[in-house]
Amino acid sequence: MVLTLLVSAYKLCRLAMASPETLVAVPIYEGMWAQSPGPYPEVSPGVSTDIQAALHRILPELQQAISAIKQAAGPKDLQVGMAEILALVEEAWVMPTVGREVAKGLCDGIRLEGGLDLLLSFLQSADLETKCQAGKLLEQILVAENRDRIARIGLGVILNLSKERENLQLARSTSGILEHMFKHSEETCHQLISDGGLDAILYWCRWSDPVVLCHCATALANCAMYGGQANQRLMAEKRAAEWLFPLAFTQEDQLIRFYACLAIAVLATNKEIEKEVERSGTLALVEPFIATLDPGQFACTLLGSSDNSQGRTADDLQRLVPLLDSSRLEAQCMATFYLCVEATIKARQKKTKIFTEIGAIQSLKRIVCYSPNGTTSSLAKKALCAMGEEVPRRLLPTVPNWKPLEVQKWLQQIGFVKYCPLFLEHQVDGDLLLRLTEEDLKGDLGMDSSITRKWFFRELTELKTYANYSTCDRSNLSDWLGSVDPKFRQYTYNLVTCGIDRNFLHRVTEQQLQEDCQVDIGFHRVRILNAAREMLHSPLPYSNGKAILEGTDVFISYRRISGSQLASLLKVHLQLHGFSVFLDVEKLEAGKFEDKLVQSVMSARNFVLVLSSHSLDKCMEDTECKDWVHKEIATALSSGKNVIPVTDHFEWPDPETLPADMRAVLKFNGIKWSHEYQEATIEKIIRFLQGRSSRDSSAGSENSLECGPPMGQT
């Protein structure tokens, strides 16, 4: 007699504190759920009455659904049974407080009854609906132990599934499964990348379906977070940083943008690929986006997602701590915001001790004290408040200019209050503080314990690393040292006070670094000197100034409310084909916006105009040319740019409704954007960019993708 899932799942939900070793894999039999190999091990009751009450309610319904699958007469009955199980699992995930434990019990029970193996067989079915339904259920039950099982026996099935990329329903579930599997291990990430899983995710990044895009963004974030540096390198080689741009740029869904920004911020912390990530342009979107979010409201958004309904686990949050300690502002900003959101969630659950356990508190306090970025510092303060921690006072960054009073405040903040009188007696200011030696601490400042001195120098090293030396460091030596290694900024003041700047550094000997500049670690001295000599022979940073003055290949004009996704896709496609592209959110620097905009249009060689739904409506009756799209089009026409309209669900207006200075844009044949045939559309755009004017192209030609009518038609 087959044991019902009712018994197995109920007992497994009491294994919340049991070790994974007690879970036994069960073989399956064709056409039915597996038989049990024997009685499940008894454990001490360890789950709450709330969990047991939830199980008493859910398990009878689950039993009925399993029975229906066993007795399924055909694909339709099978799909109904899987849909009922899916509804129960989804209901469990979103239960307040106990949802994770209840859902995990159900997921474990399905695995132990052979359900994972059966779902893998359904994913190979010739019936598309059965395959889609199995994919939806599998996506919802991929807890850690189930990911282990899939990684061992089913990764090939998932990879084959990822090759079927055009069906929307299948793409939704497959991208969701890949999202979870990228969390499994570095080895699994490597196999997924090598065998086409990442290619599928990057292919779907060009789609417009929000469910697929959210899975893609989260999958890329998981691959970056859990895959390790070697897999991050492979992501860079496959141009993941570029394809993250449309996801981080979308105006449709905050979750998509959030995970895309998380992915790019993590990739930027890998020094091997940092420059490539910067060139993608995606990194510039991170901090402005985070600055627009409210942590409390975003916590509600996460709680409304089944995958985040209980917040993140300690293992997940632990991976954010290195981002806090990164030298990249974007990584610090992302991690601080994420921890602030999680602190809001964990405070409601009274589980804030988790942040002390993962070591995030000190890093957040350091950000409050030293971060020059107001957004990041403010988020760190909010996170500490939500965690119930004391928020330190922000320190003046220009440490060399500190008066004795500022030194006193710093001593109090780092817990060295007992030494304040002696520091004050000797009038230790910022200059003296940065020059202190071990002999000074022991002989003059009463720090007899060698352990205490080590604690003090650890705090002083951190202060030196994050201090602002702009008042004395005329050649910006500190930033150069930080580019070699962030911790090398601690040597800035010693070098500067010895009269060393960036231009003279290559003449310094290792002995001088050690004896005069107190760079005591030999390996640090070697790295600094090697980098200085490389700098001497490398091109000056202004060597590419000519290219900047010449402008970009393409200026993309778009209406933000309806054309941002297409504009971002065009940017990525054209960059991957070797064109330099201007998109205003990414490259406009400080200064008068209008002047910068006009200069950017005039310096670009081509003007790609994204004509999305109602994109020209605001231009109508804009007699004073105040609308930005109107201004961009008029500037491009008056300066004789090669104008290439790209239409997407666009209705051509009556020319008489547009201002006279932009009507000529209707004389250009529009290239109709095709989401299904993006490469073909891009090839046509490239032909126009390479010299064939869209004004001269013949509408209705055999290979034409353009949809614009001759001027005057509506």
Q: Which residues are catalytic?
A: 632
Count H helices and E strands in the chain, helices first: 39, 5
What is the Cα–Cα distance from 362 to 458, expressed in whole angstroms? 13
User: Between the CA of residue 384 and those of 333, 377, 387, 416, what are the distances in Å?
Assistant: 15, 11, 5, 22
What is the Cα–Cα distance from 348 to 341, expressed in whole angstroms? 11
What is the Cα–Cα distance from 500 to 507, expressed in whole angstroms? 10
What is the Cα–Cα distance from 492 to 466, expressed in whole angstroms? 11
3-class secondary structure per residue, 18-42:
CCHHHCCCCCCECCECCCCCCCCCC
Helix (H, G, I), strand (E, B) or coil at 684: helix
**Concatenated DSSP letters of 97-156:** TTHHHHHHHHHHHHHHTTHHHHHHHHTT-S-HHHHHHHHHHHHHT--HHHHHHHHHHTHH
Per the CB < 8 A criterion, the answer to whether 189 and 231 are in contact is: yes
What is the Cα–Cα distance from 121 to 134, expressed in whole angstroms? 9
Per the CB < 8 A criterion, the answer to whether 130 and 75 are in contact is: yes
Assigned token pair, 280: 């993608």
Report which secondary-structure segment, H or E, holds 601: helix 593-603
Instruction: Give the β-pairing of 554-557 and 581-582.
Output: parallel
Per the CB < 8 A criterion, the answer to whether 559 and 533 are in contact is: no
User: Between the CA of residue 409 and those of 14, 212, 414, 432, what are the distances in Å?
Assistant: 52, 52, 9, 15
Cα–Cα–Cα angle for 386, 267, 264, rounded to 5 degrees:
65
Please tell me what DSSP assigns to residue 486: G
Provide Rg for the chain, Cα atoms: 30
CA 244 to chain centroid, in Å, comes to 8
Name which of 260, 258, 235 is nearest 247 in CA terms: 260
In angstroms, how far apart are the furthest CA atoms of the chain? 91
